[in-house]
Each structure stands twice: as C-alpha cells, then as structure tokens.
Chain A
C-alpha cells in the first residue's frame, strides 16, 4: 500500500486521529518508577526509589538527583523502559530524588541561599540516615547543577564523594554565546518590574523563554513530527510523554529568579568568586568531590561555554568531561540517552561508589 493509499484508508485515518487527540489533549503516565516519600519540608519532597537489586550487590554510595527549580523532575523518570532513574536503579544504585515542588506566592522570598543551605543539608541528612552511609553522590541538572555546585563548594566536608553536573549553567561571561544573557541584559529586562507584578516568575514566561530559543522547531516542527509519525505508536508514545512534561512547568520563587538574573546572568558572580549565600562565598576551588561534567553539544539553553570553566576551576583531583551529542534535554531523555549518556554516567559513578 502506498503512502497515498494509506492516507485514504478511513480505518487508519480514524486511528491516526485518535492518537493525535490523545497525544495533544491528555497527560501521559510519566514518573512511574516506584518510590517512597522519606522527607518533606514546605513544598520540597525527598523520595527514595525502591531498590530492585539485593542490598549486597548494590553500590554502597547513594545517589541524590537534584533537578531544576522551574520544571518538574519527572524528566529523570520519563516513562517505563525509557527512564534514567529506572536505569540507575536496575544498575544497583540507591537512588534518591529531591523534588523542589511548586512554590506558591508565600515562597516568593525563597533564595538560592535557602535551597542550598537550608533544604539540601536537611534532605541530605535524612538520606544519610536512610541509606546508612555518610558518603553520597550528587547529580545536578541545569539549575540543579547551580545548587549542587554551590553545595559542593560550601560544604566540601559533608561526605560528598561524587558530583555529576549535567548541562550546568555556571559561567555567564561569554554573553555573545548565551541567548538568555542577551534577553536578560539590564538594558532590556527589568526583573524587579516582573516580580512586582507576579511575585514569582510565572511558568508561562519560563516556557516561552525556553521555546523561543528555537521557535520554528518548538512551535511548528514539533507538531509536524507528531503528524508525520502518527502511524508509529512508539514515537507517538515518546512524543506524548515529552509533551506532558514540557507543558507542565512551575513558577520559580521570585527571590531565586532575581539572583539567577542579577547575580548570575548579568554579573557572573559564581565564576568570579564573588557570589555569597548567607554570607558565605561560593568558591568552586573548594570542591573536592570527584567531578563529571556532562556537556550537551547541541544545547541552545546552556551552551558548552557555560559548563566548561567549572571543569578547570573546581578543586577536585579527579575530573572528567564528557560531551554528549544532543540538546539540553535530549542528552538525558532523547532516543540516544540510553545508549550514550546513561551508560557513561553509570560507568563513571559505579567505579566511584564502592
């Protein structure tokens, strides 16, 4: 049957229409790996994924995942059979997830200071109790990498053994290469006016910002790709899961957003060594944990130049830099993630988690 004939097959058309409607109007079942809630504070939740490998065969050092503040962490556990969390649990890691939750207006004064020096130490304390290990590994992705880097620099003696940074926006010096840095230039972008109007940074504005970096691909090409692949249930399922996650953004606490724009995007304080959290200077040279920096070669949100300098500046004796083909999200949730990025992280971390 030719493609033209198949287009005229009414039974197939009905099935295509059903798949299209489902993908566009319903939410896919994502974040399905079984987990247990072990700690809460305000909106933050610490989960432990139920191990599937017997305790004697598991890696001794637990792994804590820290995702960005403005998206749900479900992307780390997108769908059964295609989930980083599921992969790591099956590889014998004791995996924990710190979910920051959805800040309300009452949280608009929360800052990086609070997340890094109030929430994270408390969650890590609980992780140590549950895992019965004084050592742990941290994986930070996107803004989560800012939080984990800051924590690693401020609390180098807290038992942090391994630090994995994924597409980490840490260095904001090369303004020409960073589109967000142009958009948030103080000449054009009045952060105080936005926060006065909304309190927190609205998720719609964050979503627009992320999509507008590649407007044709995100607003048109993405839907054409779905249309072209309606006969392929696997691709539709993958598209549906990703669409569910992409369209479920959360606000960013106002004070944190102010720090992100003013301290980091506009003044690059972290890499200049002048960023202070609760009066303590975040000096990345104090990081001693083994460091794996993962850079996405096709990243429009966090270009490679933002993650390269930490690799040079961190005080760690054991450092590795891995460049993965793919974009900001694709390196961990795209079709090639399970054959490229995940095995690399597993191999690197496995050797250092005994």
Chain B
C-alpha cells in the first residue's frame, strides 16, 4: 500500500501548526526506518528466518490438522452428510457441464453469426414470400 494518493495541501494553504516540527521529525524517522527495513527484508538472513519459522509452524500443526481431518470425515460419514471430497467431486462435474454448455453456446453462436467477420454482421434480407 505504498502507492496511495498523497495529495497533502501545499505549505502556503496550511494553517500555522506548532506540531509541524514534531511531524517533520516523525516523518524523517519513519523514512529512515522504512529504508532500513526494506533493506533488511531483502536479505538472505530474513528469507532464511521467515522460511524456518513458517516451516516450523507448518510441521507443528500438521499432525493436529491430519487428526482433525480424519475425525471430521468419520463424523460426516456417520451422520450421512457429504464430505469436502464429495463437494469437490460435484464441483468438478458441474464445471465439466458448464464447459459442455459453453461448447453448445459456441456452436449456436456460430450458426447465428458467420465466422471471421471483422465488420459488423450484415443484416439478413427477409426471404421473399
């Protein structure tokens, strides 16, 4: 979010502000801190540390997650309720159906409109009766 519109009013438009000096100091401090942090995160050490932390948290939570998934699947099965896998399978089938419908739509569009027309489709003359 470093690209937000800034748009501070110009110095001449602003009323006299005794806190301005404090604000300028604050901004200068933040600026220096920001530059230092940008450099810090762009290092191998930061990448290694965050990677190790992420790895450790994922490893620690994996057994709990697996146990929860197993027990949830068993509970849903006992209650005759569909599981996540059932819904996923259903979603895949619906998407396949959507694709078939899209193929049919393409064929219908092909019948309605002559292919490879760069200009607008010419209006058909009514057949003489």
- Interface residues of A, Cβ cutoff 8 Å to B: 1-4, 6-7, 39-42, 104-107, 118, 122, 125-126, 129, 132-135, 179, 182-183, 185, 187-190, 193-194, 196-197, 211-218, 220-222, 224-225, 228-229, 232, 234-235, 238-239, 242-243, 246, 298, 300, 326-331, 333-335
Q: Are A242 and B4 in contact (CB under 8 A)?
A: yes
Q: Are B37 and A215 in contact (CB under 8 A)?
A: yes
Bound-state CA distance A327–B4 (Å) is 9
**Closest chain B residue to A41, Cβ basis:** B98
Q: Shortest beta-carbon distance, A207 to chain B, in Å?
A: 10
**Closest chain B residue to A223, Cβ basis:** B1
17 pairs across A/B with beta carbons < 8 Å? A3-B14, A126-B109, A132-B117, A133-B118, A183-B46, A187-B48, A197-B61, A214-B37, A221-B2, A221-B34, A224-B30, A228-B23, A229-B7, A232-B9, A243-B1, A326-B3, A330-B3
Q: Shortest beta-carbon distance, B83 to chain A, in Å?
A: 12
Known contacts A3-B18, A132-B121: A41-B95 contact under CB 8 Å: yes
Q: Shortest beta-carbon distance, A77 to chain B, in Å?
A: 16
Q: Shortest beta-carbon distance, B23 to chain A, in Å?
A: 7
**Cβ–Cβ < 8 Å partners of B1 in chain A:** 211, 217-218, 222, 242-243, 246, 329
The 8 closest A-B pairs by CB, nearest first: A330-B3, A188-B51, A3-B17, A335-B5, A327-B3, A106-B91, A216-B34, A106-B88
Known: A4-B19, A221-B34, A225-B4. 11 other contacts (CB 8 A): A106-B92, A122-B99, A122-B102, A125-B106, A188-B50, A194-B58, A197-B65, A213-B38, A235-B8, A334-B4, A335-B5
Bound-state CA distance A196–B61 (Å) is 11
Bound-state CA distance A334–B7 (Å) is 10
Among B14, B38, B87, B92, which residue has the most Cβ atoms of chain A within 10 A? B38
Q: Shortest beta-carbon distance, A340 to chain B, in Å?
A: 13
Q: Are B47 and A188 in contact (CB under 8 A)?
A: yes
Q: Is the interface of A mostly helix, strand, loop or mixed?
A: helix
Bound-state CA distance A335–B102 (Å) is 41
Q: Are A197 and B4 in contact (CB under 8 A)?
A: no
Q: Are B50 and A183 in contact (CB under 8 A)?
A: yes
Q: Are B62 and A197 in contact (CB under 8 A)?
A: yes
Q: Are B7 and A234 in contact (CB under 8 A)?
A: yes
Bound-state CA distance A207–B85 (Å) is 28
**Closest chain A residue to B49, Cβ basis:** A188
Q: Shortest beta-carbon distance, A281 to chain B, in Å?
A: 25
**Cβ–Cβ < 8 Å partners of A129 in chain B:** 109, 113
Q: Are B95 and A42 in contact (CB under 8 A)?
A: yes
Q: Are B102 and A41 in contact (CB under 8 A)?
A: yes
**Cβ–Cβ < 8 Å partners of A232 in chain B:** 7, 9
**Cβ–Cβ < 8 Å partners of B41 in chain A:** 179, 212-213, 215
**Cβ–Cβ < 8 Å partners of B113 in chain A:** 129, 132
Indicate which residue in B47, B54, B98, B121 contacts A42 across the interface (CB closer than 8 Å). Answer: B98
